[in-house]
Structure 1
């Protein structure tokens, strides 16, 4: 897992931040929408921002999605008090990695890398997330 995290971060750091901040990126609305839904424990809305494979898996019980996300180690996302976007990397046409920093209710900082894809007729959807805590303290 550590090797995956180092690889993802090294890819993201190759892109100049100033070029990334110039334009609001369209996939960020999907990330923010899913985060806000998880904060509200609204599994159905959170699932609507997920990729097709996730939506198919939870089709019969979409509310369970938020529960499973929290139980699988991603609870800090739903329990965060704020988030901010960092670097992103376009892997190919319609596929990006987006770095997101979270501050939880205890002031701990968490870093995540979201993989998103621009799905046909659906728009940008979350395909997966890698999350880790950092030694820093949020303000």
Structure 2
């Protein structure tokens, strides 16, 4: 009986970690999909990953892409990217570090904030971008 209770307790404790991992993977999937859409020139698809707060500030695809192409060239034309650290701020909010090699061959760090939307999709609420101190290989 004790072993059954122990197994049950381990399973209960394990589920939140699995759910958290699945949520992070889903959020990373939104980031990957947006970067890939930028790479392939599918601007409308890239815009679809912007959260409502971003769409209020940039209400048209043209204004959004103007912002991206003007201020986020390493994201817009990433040569490659890898996910770094993440932090789950709440069940519906995640911060994700992304290491990017920009079109200039330099390293950048992008910190994405994402929120889970009512339709079940993680959408990007903001991106902070800076040159990274790491070296590309």
TM-score when normalising by structure 2: 0.75
Comparing both structures, which one devotes a greater share of its residues to strand?
A: 1
| Counterpart secondary structure, 1:50 | coil
**Paired residues for 1:38-49 under 5 Å:** 38-49=38-49
Find the counterpart in structure 1 of residue 121 from structure 2. 123
Q: Are 1:42 and 1:66, in contact at CA under 8 Å, matched by a contact in 2? A: no
Point out the structure with max Rg over C-alpha: 2
Comparing both structures, which one devotes a greater share of its residues to helix?
A: 2
Q: Distance in 1 between matches of 2:85 and 2:108?
A: 15
2:89 to 67, 88, 91: 91
Structure 1 regions of 5+ residues with no counterpart?
1-18
Q: Distance in 2 between matches of 1:34 and 1:82?
A: 13
Q: Are 2:51 and 2:125, in contact at CA under 8 Å, matched by a contact in 1? A: yes
Structure 2 regions of 5+ residues with no counterpart?
1-16
- Residues 95-121 of structure 1: CA distance to partner in whole angstroms, max 9, x if unpaired? 000010001233211001100000101
Provide the aligned C-alpha RMSD in A. Answer: 2.3
Q: CA deviation at 1:58?
A: 4.5
- Residues 58-83 of structure 1: CA distance to partner in whole angstroms, max 9, x if unpaired? 55x32442222121x21111121100
TM-score when normalising by structure 1: 0.74
Aligned residues: 118
**Paired residues for 1:96-107 under 5 Å:** 96-107=94-105
Q: Distance in 1 between matches of 2:120 and 2:72?
A: 24
